[in-house]
Homo-oligomer: A and B are copies of this chain.
Amino acid sequence: MTDNAVPPSTRAYESLRSAVLHGDFRPGQPLKPQELASSQGVSLAVVRESLLRLVGEGLAERLPNRGFVVPEAGDARWQVIAEARAAVEPTMLRMSIARGDLEWETRVRAAHHRLARTPTYDNETDAHYSDAWATAHHEFHRALLDACGNDVLLDTFERFWTASELSRRWSAAESPGRDAVAEHLRLEQLALTREGDAAAEALVAHLGMTAANLAKAGRKS
């Protein structure tokens, strides 16, 4: 039969994770086990397990004997995460470009196509971009780095990405003037033509960093 077999624990975890990422809770706001348990119809134990998992992912913070809260997020935090991504992802992109095969090229093209054809906003009223676009955006960036051949680095990418999504949700970092579409197109093309150095530079620029900011980060703003 339709063995949907999704354990309560997983359901609660995914629901809570999605809620945090969607911004249903403000940074610093306590995640009260009681409310979550009753609102989801599960016991405290599974809520606790969900929270522990979120902590492992960086989507919740634990204050011993004082419960769990949503971690800090905002402009400053986003800057830190962007710098971290700019420190790691260019190297991964070079590795991916050097190692990627035809399968990889195909995935990159497919991911870019979906991203380019997915509307950023569901409708005019939404302040934040749509889930579909966020997924496509994630998939495209993931595809670019996919062929780096190192799952530890890919895990790190995923970790940075979720942290980045949370912080962007609570920051005004949406530079409205930027032409993200053109930047993604350029990234795709440089990847497919195997121009590692140029692609790495384009990625740093895409992250809103200048190369100077990074490698020789002498001065701080």
Contact = CB atoms under 8 A, between A and B. Distances in A.
Contacts of A56: 52-53, 55-57
A32 to B, nearest CB: 18
Interface residues of A, number: 40
Contact of A7 (B57, B64, B92, B98): B64
Copies held by the complex: 2
Given A88-B88, A156-B156, A215 B48 contact: no
Interface stretch (A102-110, A112-120, A144-152, A176-184): A144-152
In this complex, the member of A7, A52, A84 whose beta carbon has the largest number of chain B beta carbons within 10 angstroms is: A84
Interface of A: 7, 10, 45, 48-49, 52-53, 55-57, 64-65, 80-81, 83-84, 87-88, 91-92, 94-95, 98-99, 149-153, 156, 159-160, 163, 196, 214-218, 220
28 contacts: A7-B65, A10-B64, A52-B56, A53-B55, A56-B56, A56-B57, A80-B152, A81-B152, A84-B150, A84-B152, A84-B156, A87-B92, A87-B95, A87-B150, A88-B91, A88-B153, A91-B215, A94-B215, A94-B216, A94-B217, A95-B217, A98-B215, A98-B217, A98-B218, A149-B217, A152-B160, A196-B215, A215-B220
